[in-house]
Amino acid sequence: MNYYRGRMIAGSLALALVATLMTVNGMVSAPKVKAADAESPSLKPELWKGLVTDDSLKLMLSSQTDLIDKTLKSAGTFRRALKKMEVAGRIVAVLGNVEVLRGSDEAAKKGAALRAAGLDLTKAAEAKNFEDATKAAEAIKSYPDKIAPAADAKPTVWTDLLDIDGLMTGVATADTEVKKPIAATKPADFKKLSKEAEPYALLLAVLGAAARDYESDKNWQKWCDDMKNESVGLAKAFNGKNEDEAKTARDSLLKSCKACHDAYRVEE
């Protein structure tokens, strides 16, 4: 099992200093503290407006609603894919929060409702509750036109929305999908698979931007920025059906995964 020993702390210089020293010594074990506040770059609407468009949001969301639909065909198919649904719910919650950050008024309130529906799906999957999962899925699919807006549209601090383990399971899922076209042996397969992989590359960029808040350490934040930028490049390569570019982009992407894991991920 992997666990994460590096949770901390923006906002307190002293703690950040201690954290840095501990990181250097490779023995980070600070308690989980809310890292971000409203000043965090990961909560700035401009960041999200630059990173996500209406079209890319639609693409990311429909990759999840397709999966959710397939999985919720019956109680049996649901029971066999509980973990997948937990992750899909988290991804939807992340996308909802992105919409809160990108939108204003009504759009943000609908984003908040999408976020809540994603969390409901994850909860229902954890509780193995097919009926609740189906309800949550209905709400997710009614976004954006028919979903009932939430009462308020405050962004959720990323570290409150999900823990780093939850975020990384989303990353792992997305990475599994972006691997597929890269592994294709025929150009025709690359083309077909890169269409399916593009939303997941976009999602990796979103998750990289969100992950920034989980540590105040500069290295951590740089690796998150790298992950975000390289995922944007990967999504572009998939979009342009450019196999060489996609390979190069994924190689650089993997370097940022590895750099951070070498420093922060503890294998047990």
Q: Which residues bind ligand HEC (CB under 6 A)?
A: 2-4, 164-165, 168-169, 171-172, 175, 204, 211, 220, 223-224, 227, 253, 256-257, 260-261, 264-265
CB of 222 to ligand HEC, least distance (A): 9
Nearest to ligand HEC of 120, 217 (CB atom): 217
Cα–Cα distance for residue pair 147/154, rounded to 1 Å: 17
Nearest to ligand HEC of 23, 56 (CB atom): 23
Answer yes or no: are the C-beta atoms of 18 and 72 closer than 8 Å.
no
Nearest to ligand HEC of 48, 220 (CB atom): 220
User: Quick one: how far is CA 231 from the chain centroid?
Assistant: 12
CB of 23 to ligand HEC, least distance (A): 12
Structure tokens at 120: 């409901």
Nearest to ligand HEC of 71, 231 (CB atom): 231
CB of 147 to ligand HEC, least distance (A): 30
CB of 121 to ligand HEC, least distance (A): 18
Structure tokens at 63: 């990759």
Q: What angle do CA 94, 31, 207 make, to 5 degrees?
A: 20
Answer yes or no: are the C-beta atoms of 6 and 264 closer than 8 Å.
yes
